[in-house]
Chains A and B, each alone.
Chain A
Amino acid sequence: METIVTQELSRTDLRWNIDYRPERCTMCGSCVAACTINAIEVGVERRSMTLSRAAYPDPAREHMSRPVIRQRVSLSQACVGCGMCAKVCPNEAIRPVRNPDNRFAMLTRCLGPAKRGGRTNLNAQRTLDHIIVGRISQMTDPSLDSERHTFDIRAPFGRILLPEHLPLAIEGDSLKQIDRTPPVNWIYPLIFSDMSIGALSTRAWEAIALATAYLNEKCGLPFRMCSGEGGMPVKLMTSDKLKYMILQIASGHFGWNRILRALPHMKTDPAGVLIKIGQGAKPGDGGLLPAAKVAPHIQAIRGVPKATLHSPPNHQGLYSIEESVQKMHLSLSAAFGFRVPVAIKCAASATSVSVYNNLLRDPYRICGGFFLDGVQGGTGAANEISLDHTGHPVVSKMRDCYMAAVRQGLQGQIPLWAGGGIGMTGNAAADAFKMICLGANGVIVGKLMIQLLGCVGNEQGRCNACSTGKCPAGICTQDPRLVRRLDIDRGAQSIVDYMLTLDSELRKLMAPIGNSSLPVGRSDALVSTDRAVAEKLGIVYAC
């Protein structure tokens, strides 16, 4: 027998174990073929059994070799628990089981690459679940009919002016506009956010774009999608569907050559531009795209060779808040003739209020929105250390920013959008509504979108293989063999269907508090069952 040394890597060290039932297995091999991680293999086991093969008891001891499916003992091929083996098995003979006693975190740091990408598996607190919509219109004032009342569910993307700052003058009997106003687009209060071509497969990205256009054209819901920092498909830029897209520019400026070259050919303006300064999953770190995902078409769109792509942690050439407003907002506004609103996205941080205060002083009236991304934001490839240990919960930080604006009487002028963990438990409408009541104009969602496409990842360490290029759902990979697993139409249809439900759920929350338009800052509509949450957010405690 082989000698096993105690320090040898073993199955018990891995985060997921394969629960294999040989008596149910027909050796069809589907599980091995389906596993993208190559975490299981066909092997042979030696068995010693007492069997009776005759019609009467005739026990005999036999030694035999049996083919089996077994888990590979390897850190680079460790099972991620995606469950594709269980999904494909016709006989329920195999499934991954979480191993709470694993030593993975230590071992990968010693022997192999530490886990990257996916979502936070540590800071998955659900502040919003301690908040209830507790102020219902009954007899004090009428609640509305959620199904038939006309609701105005739109949020501003763009700089809003106070009434006294509107460039209006009275001329005779009419009001005349005597100067320019900043561009504002009124859009759905939920943006499909910031997942790049590259982080996502072409099909996954196109499915979201397709669903966005469908929701606008067939359902009359003004959803917008943000491109992420990986450029834009030229064909989309030269089509009239561009108007549903918010273009992102981040520190790597990937893809902007093609965007600029497409400018003369654009039939319509995009919905907006979002300057990404930072992201919640890895604040203080730039974008990361592992070489495994830099396929030829990604190389073409981004203008780079096959290599691991790092965006710098900050925009080079921006050294202060004032400068970022002046230079970035000005350049991007100018690129589209000052017709397209430009907003800025930062990772939520202890410094967010300072940044927002500074933006609020914006003398150029050019900042079209402040996007805050909390610690629960997802990522294609952030290092685990950033993912789990850096960032800031978004709920209280967004609230702090809103209240800072309220104290100056400036709320609503620079729309506040917040994300990072919105829809984590599957109900984005409830999360969005509570964030809006606390002061957000709208929310941004990313992980939810890929989950609607079929992503099986969760905050409890399942799958989260986004950085490896081995996404079992064909969503976060550029491997044509895996991308082909994703049905673009079915994926887009799921997004559409979910958003239609979300829209009716939002009405179901707006109606009982009696709001026809979004209740931005109506924190009186909320109560919290957690005293600390209530105190921090300035809402009523209830039990």
Chain B
Amino acid sequence: MLTIETLKTVNDATERMSTQDLLLSIEKAVTDGVTDFTIHASGQHDIGGPLWNTEGKPLSFLVTNPGQRVGSMCLENTEVTVEGSAPADVGWLNAGGKIVVRGDAGDTAGHCAAAGTIYIGGRAGTRSGSLMKHDPLYQAPQLWILENTGSFSFEFMGGGRAVVCGHGCESMPSVLGARPCVGMVGGLVYVRGKTDALPADATLEPLSSEDIAWLESGMEPFLKAIGRQDLLGTLSRWDEWHKIVPHVHEEKHPDIFSVAAYRNNEWVNGGIFTDVLADDFGVCGLVARGLYRQRIPVWDNARYQAPCEYNCPSSIPTQQRYNLWMALSACAFSPLIFHRSAF
């Protein structure tokens, strides 16, 4: 057991150990075989990782008053316990360590964690759990938070499981802050209490029995680590919980409702020009045959001819037929009939 005091009073002047001095002394002690540390910090950054014992023995740190990034880049077999609260980036890039903050955590707690477990015994700040990942070679990371998170929590989350217990946050509009889970593509967030509207990336769903089993097995160790076993009953009412599930890739690109379907179902019935022009919206190729063949003139006969003339089945205009009849009596009938008839 090594205890490091980072503040020393020499001749009435307080001297503070720099982050560099502290980290180098911890590293040297770990190399020398020390496995248990108590560090009375004074805001030094990056306490707790990445460190390892060459024989694979577990390392343990009890820290007070840490600076940012406590437990950052933590490796397996490392346990960091913070008495009281910690500022931003608790467990940043956690790669396997167990990090316990008994008080509140600052912004971006668990940011980019890809393995290990982080327990927060109070609140966590803005963008907590954002960019968490899961490397399939290792156990998925876990982030447990007793109370709530700040806004933009779990942004771009890509893997792992987060648990936000919402303890004492019953009156809050959202225990996940504003705009949670934007850009979430993987992992799961379990949440107890109200949440802000979710983006198109994810949906709120009820728990399954597997979810409950997983939460039940993890809740007790979590509460024990933060010293709040008294809450086990309150937090185990599973009907108060939901989970946030990101959409799978395929769901994000569903078959969109085509314009053709829109025209048939929701557009002005039949088209907007039907009062002045009939159109069945059929399409011709560049080489059209029949009625729409290009070099056949468009006849406006129906519009401009007399009805009898337009409708005559033998295509002989009425007055010509009359003339024909007259011509018949004048014995000039055969050439005329061949000249005028459609046959």
- Surface stretch bound by B, among A30-38, A56-64, A270-278: A30-38
Contacts of B279 in A (CB 8 A): 202-203, 483
A301 to B294, CA, bound (A): 26
Judged by a CB distance under 8 angstroms, whether A297 is at the interface is yes
A398 to B57, CA, bound (A): 72
What range describes how many residues of B lie at the interface?
35 or more
- Surface stretch bound by A, among B69-77, B257-265, B329-337: B257-265
- Surface stretch bound by B, among A1-9, A127-135, A213-221: A213-221
Residue of A nearest to B273 (CB): A202
Q: How many residues of A contact B (CB 8 A)?
A: 45
In the assembled complex, the CB of A302 is this many whole angstroms from the nearest CB of chain B, namely 11
Residue of A nearest to B270 (CB): A235
Flag if A236 contacts B283 (CB, 8 Å). Answer: no
Chain A 193-233 residues near chain B, CB threshold 8 A: 202-203, 206, 209-211, 213-214, 217-218, 233
Contacts of B267 in A (CB 8 A): 210, 213, 241
Point out which of B263, B293, B295, B303 has the most chain A C-beta atoms below 10 A from its C-beta.
B263
A217 to B263, CA, bound (A): 12
Flag if A148 contacts B287 (CB, 8 Å). Answer: no
Judged by a CB distance under 8 angstroms, whether A388 is at the interface is no
Q: Mark A239-271, 1 if CB is under 8 A from B, else 0.
A: 101000000000000000000000000000000
Contacts of A217 in B (CB 8 A): 262, 266
Flag if A202 contacts B260 (CB, 8 Å). Answer: no
- Surface stretch bound by B, among A166-174, A308-316, A484-492: A484-492
Residue of A nearest to B282 (CB): A484
In the assembled complex, the CB of B179 is this many whole angstroms from the nearest CB of chain A, namely 8
Q: Mark B110-134, 1 if CB is under 8 A from A, else 0.
A: 0000000000000000000000000
A214 to B259, CA, bound (A): 7
Judged by a CB distance under 8 angstroms, whether A375 is at the interface is no
Flag if B286 contacts A33 (CB, 8 Å). Answer: yes
Judged by a CB distance under 8 angstroms, whether B4 is at the interface is no
Judged by a CB distance under 8 angstroms, whether A87 is at the interface is yes
Flag if A233 contacts B275 (CB, 8 Å). Answer: yes
Contacts of A482 in B (CB 8 A): 294
Flag if A202 contacts B277 (CB, 8 Å). Answer: yes
Residue of B nearest to A197 (CB): B273
Judged by a CB distance under 8 angstroms, whether B288 is at the interface is yes
A241 to B271, CA, bound (A): 12
* Contact among A202, A203, A480, A488 with B292 in the assembled complex (CB-CB below 8 Å): A480
Judged by a CB distance under 8 angstroms, whether A362 is at the interface is no
Contacts of A486 in B (CB 8 A): 283
A301 to B292, CA, bound (A): 24
In the assembled complex, the CB of A484 is this many whole angstroms from the nearest CB of chain B, namely 4
On whether A488 and B272 interact (CB within 8 A), knowing A33-B286, A145-B183, A479-B298, the answer reads: no
Judged by a CB distance under 8 angstroms, whether A493 is at the interface is yes
In the assembled complex, the CB of A91 is this many whole angstroms from the nearest CB of chain B, namely 14
Residue of B nearest to A218 (CB): B257
Q: Mark B277-320, 1 if CB is under 8 A from A, else 0.
A: 10101111111100011110010100100000000000000000
On whether A30 and B303 interact (CB within 8 A), knowing A202-B273, A301-B276, A484-B292, the answer reads: no
A84 to B287, CA, bound (A): 10
Judged by a CB distance under 8 angstroms, whether A418 is at the interface is no
Judged by a CB distance under 8 angstroms, whether A97 is at the interface is no
Judged by a CB distance under 8 angstroms, whether A426 is at the interface is no
Contacts of A493 in B (CB 8 A): 258-260
Q: What total of A-B pairs shows CB separation below 8 Å?
A: 111
Flag if B262 contacts A34 (CB, 8 Å). Answer: no
Judged by a CB distance under 8 angstroms, whether A496 is at the interface is yes
Point out which of B256, B272, B292 has the most chain A C-beta atoms below 10 A from its C-beta.
B272
Judged by a CB distance under 8 angstroms, whether A335 is at the interface is no
Point out which of A214, A486, A487, A496 has the most chain B C-beta atoms below 10 A from its C-beta.
A214
Contacts of A51 in B (CB 8 A): none
Residue of A nearest to B300 (CB): A296
Q: Mark A452-491, 1 if CB is under 8 A from B, else 0.
A: 0000000000000000000010000001111111111100
Flag if A297 contacts B182 (CB, 8 Å). Answer: no
Contacts of A33 in B (CB 8 A): 286-288, 293-295
Q: Mark B239-258, 1 if CB is under 8 A from A, else 0.
A: 00000000000000000111
A217 to B281, CA, bound (A): 22
Judged by a CB distance under 8 angstroms, whether B268 is at the interface is yes
In the assembled complex, the CB of B271 is this many whole angstroms from the nearest CB of chain A, namely 6
A-B residue pairs, 8 tightest by C-beta: A489-B260, A297-B276, A34-B286, A233-B272, A297-B277, A236-B272, A484-B284, A493-B259
25 A-B residue contacts at CB 8 Å?
A33-B295, A88-B287, A147-B183, A148-B155, A148-B183, A206-B272, A210-B263, A213-B262, A214-B259, A214-B262, A217-B266, A218-B262, A233-B275, A233-B276, A234-B275, A235-B268, A235-B272, A239-B272, A300-B276, A481-B294, A484-B284, A485-B283, A485-B284, A489-B259, A492-B263
- List residues of B whose CB falls within 8 A of some A CB: 155, 182-183, 199, 201, 256-260, 262-263, 266-268, 271-277, 279, 281-288, 292-295, 298, 300, 303
